[in-house]
Structure 1
Amino acid sequence: MSSPLGPRWRGAVAATAAVACLVTTVAAAAPSAATAGHPAAATVPRLAWSPCSYAPGFECATAKVPLDHRHPDGRTIDLAVIRRPATDPAHRAGSLFFNPGGPGNATAGTAALPAAYEAFPRELRERFDIVSWDPRGVGRSTAVRCFESAEEFAAWSARVPDGFPVGARERASWISAFAELGRICERRLPDLLRHVSTPDTARDLDLLRRAVGDRKLNYLGVSYGTFLGATYANLFPRNVRAMVLDGAVDPVTWVRLSPPLPTELRRRADTGSARTLARFLDLCGRATTDRCAFSAGTPRATRDKYERLLRRLSARPQGEWTYAATVSAVVEGLYVVDPGWTELAELLQALWDGRTPAASTSPSARTFAKASARTSAGTGALQPAAYPEVEPPYAVQCSESPVPRDTRRYATFERQAHARSGDVGRYWTWLAEPCATWPARAADRYTGPWDRPTPPLLTVNTTFDPATPYQQAVDLTRHLADARLITVRGYGHTTLLNPSSCVGGHEVRYFLTGALPPRGAVCGQDVRPFAGAPGR
């Protein structure tokens, strides 16, 4: 849920890269109940675990799975898998699979788990092997990488405005560049593009569950990982033991073009960001400048200051910091309250003062930052990525979540989103547009039902989430056959990134014993915005 060329997953994890969002296209009938789980028998992969060279204490393996699960004896692809064994092996309860969101982040699984591991409650780390993986098409797994060199990527990306396009000329350049990206990917990876959908990954997850020897699945999914979890639970309802879905995506809005809007606007991610931004500015305005650098002394004065800054950058960019780049950084900066909100306030104040923000936060640094080192398929040898992997999110999302295909309509969508959500509406509108011209459709797509009988599932959402609004969690909980929602009165995207010991306690009891929180459970967060020590 961030700029196409910016970071895609920003962790608890101490602000690494941002959780990408949703965008996409297709129309096809849902598979029948008879074929939903296992279209055909696939060989359970053998996992030869060995120490991860890049993550001390973790073990890595490669799983071979069918490219097309309907033809399990055909071509195979590689999945990079990682685990941290239970720290109390005498009382080990099994494996807990973790998906950090996305979809399609270069930092998925194998990079996110080492970064996020300490955010898991101690009791879960003691009793479970914590397992993650790079989904097909992503990172160290067989990846959707459409450019042959860093130079080729740079030539393409030079045409893409940072954040989102502003004005007719930039809109034309944006639309043309992403249409070309689709053509390049289709020409180079036609088969893989049709087999990186969420149902494909859910079938991979069931093979991984069997590969680690678990009779039933324990799973924690955040952001897009909640959609993957809901898909798995309905493809394999008898194989679920316990599942926590944190930062919810309503699967119905993901798979249905109703209303006929880009995916993020259907999900109202723009209104979620707008509401969270309003709280950021209000709380900043109530704080002193030693706690929130951007404070103007009152909420209203701070909101006015923010609007004046955007107008100034729109008229006169400050180096690489354009209006669009700044709005994009604001949306991404709202994901993590501590230290993200403090750092966002410092960024805005630096721009207000006419100072150049730190190089690591600049638009070009975010755009051209090296993707995390990736493992070449089947070798286990680390190799530096040649360019940031911007293609996988579109390969996954655009194959299965419908968006309007007429690119001329996106300027109208932008105006509508701006009218209801302000500047952040522009960001969310154009995040989805590349799927309007994406050429590949998922060969295996699941569109429901979403209420197949399962053991009770647990959903979690903050009330001010800038990417997956609280109503999405309400809707997901309602669609599932048996689910209970924990409401977190607080801010930011997911409780994994914005911890709540109250939620952690419920999750520990749930995973260890199956006990659910009471209906209507409400939790707070451990850290309030701008509550850090003065001068931090």
Structure 2
Amino acid sequence: MTSLRPPHHRSTARRLPAALAGATAGVLAAGLVAAPAHAESGPASPLGTVARTAGHARFVPGPCPRTADPIPALKDAHCGTLTVPEKREGHEGRGRRITLAVAIIPAATKRHPGDPIVWLAGGPGDDAVSEIPMALKGGLNRDRDLIFMSQRGTYSADPELTCVNIDQFNARALGLVSNAPSTGRLHVRATRECRDRVVARGADPSAYDDTESSADLADLRKALGIRQWNVFGISYGTDLALQYMRLHPEGIRSVGIDGILPPSLAGGAVTWKAAREGFDGMFKACADQPACNTRYPHLKATFERLVVDLEARPVSTTVSVPGQPAPVKVVIDGGNLVNWLTSASHVAEGVPRSIDELAHGNPQRIAEQLAGGKYSPEAMGRTSHGLVYGVFCREWTPYESQEDIIRGGRRAFPSFPRSLLANAPQLAWLHDDCRAWDVPPADPSVRDRTVSDIPTLVLSGGFDSQTAPSNGAYVGRTLSRSTVVTVPYVAHVVFADSTCAQTMTVSFFDRPTAPDTSCLAGLKPPTFEIG
């Protein structure tokens, strides 16, 4: 199972963003653990040194959280922790308590409105604090303070429910046939081991989901004494943002969501739809570019033929990966090829050339990109699989059957075999994993559509093969004051890579009902590599 995660950096054409490279098991992974950064206390906090309580939640100012990589902006941050009940329903605040790290990055300007922006991370399972550099690169703190709170179970929370065994399995699974039953059994075994670790930490696996995370956000706003704030969520964070708007709308001035995952659709079927839309966006862009179309005609048909052929007759090769003592084996079958293209949308310039090379018997370029992501340090030991499975297994699988996934895949890709369609991109062995995770379903209302008049900016990318571009229009229909925008030629989470998207987002928080979208008129497609 992979996660719907945003890119942490712009990749070269030969290496995918590590947090988005395809995987066949667990949440996207692989690599070596980076040494945690030292916690930093930052300057004197405007919050003071006095703890604040809101209901059963308590905020205490203190040192900034640990991070897997150094984040210089934390030197100027105001930090602390929010302590909340692990599970609210039926416990009335008397049960186990958990701690969530909070970091507040001051606005770049001295004169700014009093309403800050709270950032909701991708994943599920990513740590919000680790995404501070992305937010600052996009200028989101130009006029407003930015608030980052680690979602429950994530890297800087206590307990942190990462499972390195799943990350290690993701790396080893690169050399396995992705849809083979034997791979599935190993996949589920890794999931059970993760669940055992979560329980051994004293955590309740059923307490890590959108309902509790939404309540955590509501408690944080009150504990910080903030009358009104803004919300910006990326990737899976859009799912959480929509739930938060539905469950706790009070105190929300405006909401930006980027890379839309509607809670009412979340699951394997919509992931197949996303792949279809994102792939077609890239194929069309090549067809519309004379040099690309001449050099790589019928690219869509070539790719789909390769998927079918390789699902029946996989090919394998070995590639060298930085930090690995020996070459690693990579199997390219139909499932791995689909997962590769899902992530390669972030480096679309090289996609036609890579497909063409594979069609002519050279898998190295694709194999190197797959291995570069799986074995990257960014893909090891940083994802909260406890939160991943809590969301997937409480909110998704109870409301979508395995046959629903297959039917969704068949609608999107009629030529693909059933063995491949059963494992949607990014969600391999989803139902098998959730049987092993063994948590009760969330209340059915978790699948309700969000109906709201809160001003909302709804952003999608034309090349987004992880969350379908059409999801933006879908959620916009029940958000009466929404601005729905698709940024062409950009992959999942447009804020990460598009200066136009960054400009629109900043302008939106200034004028939530009239963001500046004029930059869209000047966007041009990528220039595809001609090999």
Q: TM-score when scaled to structure 2?
A: 0.73
Instruction: After TM superposition, list the pairs within 5 Å mapping 1:163-178 onto structure 2.
Output: 165-171=178-184, 173-174=186-187, 176-177=188-189
Task: Give yes or no for the alignment of 1:326 onto 2:326.
Answer: no
Partner residue of 1:30?
none
Task: Give yes or no for the alignment of 1:65 onto 2:83.
Answer: yes
Deviation at 1:316, TM superposition (A): 4.4
Aligned partners of 1:218 and 1:241 also within 8 Å: yes
Deviation at 1:353, TM superposition (A): 5.6
- Select which of 48, 52, 75 maps to 2:62: 48
State the number of aligned residues: 471
Aligned partners of 1:63 and 1:80 also within 8 Å: yes
Partner residue of 2:161?
145
Instruction: After TM superposition, list the pairs within 5 Å mapping 1:434-453 onto structure 2.
Output: 434-441=433-440, 446-447=445-446, 450=449
Partner residue of 1:524?
520
- Select which of 361, 373, 376 maps to 1:366: 373
Rounded to whole Å, the distance in 2 between the matches of 1:355 and 1:102 is 29
Partner residue of 1:130?
146
Deviation at 1:78, TM superposition (A): 1.9
The amino acid across from 2:339 in the alignment is S
Partner deviation per Cα, 1:356-395 (whole Å, 9 max, x = no partner):
34986344x53354457xxxxxxxxxxxx75865453223
Aligned partners of 1:92 and 1:126 also within 8 Å: no
Aligned partners of 1:163 and 1:325 also within 8 Å: no
Deviation at 1:331, TM superposition (A): 0.8
Q: Measured at CA, do residues 269 and 50 of structure 1 come closer, stay the same or move farther in structure 2, by a change above 3 Å? A: closer
Q: Measured at CA, do residues 308 and 456 of structure 1 come closer, stay the same or move farther in structure 2, by a change above 3 Å? A: closer
Deviation at 1:506, TM superposition (A): 4.3
Rounded to whole Å, the distance in 1 between the matches of 2:10 and 2:230 is 22
Q: Measured at CA, do residues 110 and 296 of structure 1 come closer, stay the same or move farther in structure 2, by a change above 3 Å? A: farther
- Select which of 363, 387, 390 maps to 1:392: 387
Does the residue aligned with 1:321 lie in a helix, a strand or coil?
A: strand
The amino acid across from 1:303 in the alignment is K
Partner residue of 1:356?
364
Deviation at 1:73, TM superposition (A): 4.6
Partner residue of 1:479?
478
Deviation at 1:343, TM superposition (A): 4.3
Does the residue aligned with 1:238 lie in a helix, a strand or coil?
A: coil
Aligned partners of 2:22 and 2:374 also within 8 Å: no
The amino acid across from 1:264 in the alignment is G
Q: TM-score when scaled to structure 1?
A: 0.73
Q: Measured at CA, do residues 236 and 117 of structure 1 come closer, stay the same or move farther in structure 2, by a change above 3 Å? A: same
The amino acid across from 1:118 in the alignment is K
Deviation at 1:45, TM superposition (A): 0.7
Aligned partners of 1:96 and 1:129 also within 8 Å: yes
Does the residue aligned with 2:477 lie in a helix, a strand or coil?
A: helix
Rounded to whole Å, the distance in 1 between the matches of 2:435 and 2:160 is 19
Task: Give yes or no for the alignment of 1:87 onto 2:108.
Answer: yes
Rounded to whole Å, the distance in 1 between the matches of 2:175 and 2:399 is 23
Deviation at 1:245, TM superposition (A): 1.6
Rounded to whole Å, the distance in 1 between the matches of 2:469 and 2:226 is 32
Deviation at 1:252, TM superposition (A): 2.2
Aligned partners of 2:21 and 2:373 also within 8 Å: no
Aligned partners of 1:13 and 1:115 also within 8 Å: no
Instruction: After TM superposition, list the pairs within 5 Å mapping 1:197-236 onto structure 2.
Output: 197-236=209-248
Partner residue of 1:98?
119
Q: Measured at CA, do residues 76 and 242 of structure 1 come closer, stay the same or move farther in structure 2, by a change above 3 Å? A: same
The amino acid across from 1:461 in the alignment is S
Partner deviation per Cα, 1:473-518 (whole Å, 9 max, x = no partner):
22212233543423444442232134262x5454334312443359
Partner residue of 2:252?
240
Which is worse superposed, 485-494 or 214-223? 485-494
Rounded to whole Å, the distance in 2 between the matches of 1:46 and 1:276 is 44
Q: Measured at CA, do residues 210 and 146 of structure 1 come closer, stay the same or move farther in structure 2, by a change above 3 Å? A: closer
Q: Measured at CA, do residues 163 and 206 of structure 1 come closer, stay the same or move farther in structure 2, by a change above 3 Å? A: farther
Q: Measured at CA, do residues 401 and 129 of structure 1 come closer, stay the same or move farther in structure 2, by a change above 3 Å? A: same
Q: Measured at CA, do residues 195 and 474 of structure 1 come closer, stay the same or move farther in structure 2, by a change above 3 Å? A: same
Aligned partners of 1:457 and 1:484 also within 8 Å: yes
Rounded to whole Å, the distance in 1 between the matches of 2:175 and 2:521 is 33
Rounded to whole Å, the distance in 1 between the matches of 2:224 and 2:185 is 49
Does the residue aligned with 2:6 lie in a helix, a strand or coil?
A: coil
Instruction: After TM superposition, list the pairs within 5 Å mapping 1:215-364 onto structure 2.
Output: 215-254=227-266, 263-265=267-269, 268-284=270-286, 287=289, 297-300=295-298, 302-307=299-304, 309-310=306-307, 313-314=310-311, 315-319=313-317, 320-323=330-333, 324-334=335-345, 336=346, 340-345=347-352, 347-348=354-355, 351=358, 352=360, 354=362, 356-357=364-365, 361-363=369-371
Task: Give yes or no for the alignment of 1:401 onto 2:412.
Answer: no
Deviation at 1:137, TM superposition (A): 1.3
Partner residue of 1:515?
513
Does the residue aligned with 1:126 lie in a helix, a strand or coil?
A: coil
Aligned partners of 1:97 and 1:220 also within 8 Å: yes
Rounded to whole Å, the distance in 1 between the matches of 2:21 and 2:370 is 19
Rounded to whole Å, the distance in 2 between the matches of 1:468 and 1:7 is 8
Rounded to whole Å, the distance in 2 between the matches of 1:236 and 1:20 is 35
Partner residue of 2:32?
none
Q: Please list every run of 5 or more consecutive structure 2 residues that lacks an aligned counterpart in the other structure.
A: 12-16, 27-53, 318-329
Partner deviation per Cα, 1:214-251 (whole Å, 9 max, x = no partner):
21121111222122112111222221111112222223
Does the residue aligned with 1:447 lie in a helix, a strand or coil?
A: helix
Partner residue of 1:427?
424
Does the residue aligned with 1:398 lie in a helix, a strand or coil?
A: helix
The amino acid across from 1:10 in the alignment is P
Rounded to whole Å, the distance in 1 between the matches of 2:177 and 2:240 is 27
Aligned partners of 2:166 and 2:191 also within 8 Å: no
Aligned partners of 2:340 and 2:370 also within 8 Å: no
Aligned partners of 1:159 and 1:173 also within 8 Å: no
Aligned partners of 1:457 and 1:483 also within 8 Å: yes
Partner residue of 1:32?
none
The amino acid across from 1:531 in the alignment is T
Q: Please list every run of 5 or more consecutive structure 1 residues that lacks an aligned counterpart in the other structure.
A: 25-39, 255-262, 373-384
Aligned partners of 1:456 and 1:483 also within 8 Å: yes
Which is worse superposed, 276-285 or 309-318? 309-318
Q: RMSD of the TM alignment (CA)?
A: 4.2
Does the residue aligned with 1:90 lie in a helix, a strand or coil?
A: coil
Deviation at 1:118, TM superposition (A): 0.9
Deviation at 1:82, TM superposition (A): 3.0
Rounded to whole Å, the distance in 1 between the matches of 2:474 and 2:400 is 26
Rounded to whole Å, the distance in 1 between the matches of 2:353 and 2:434 is 34
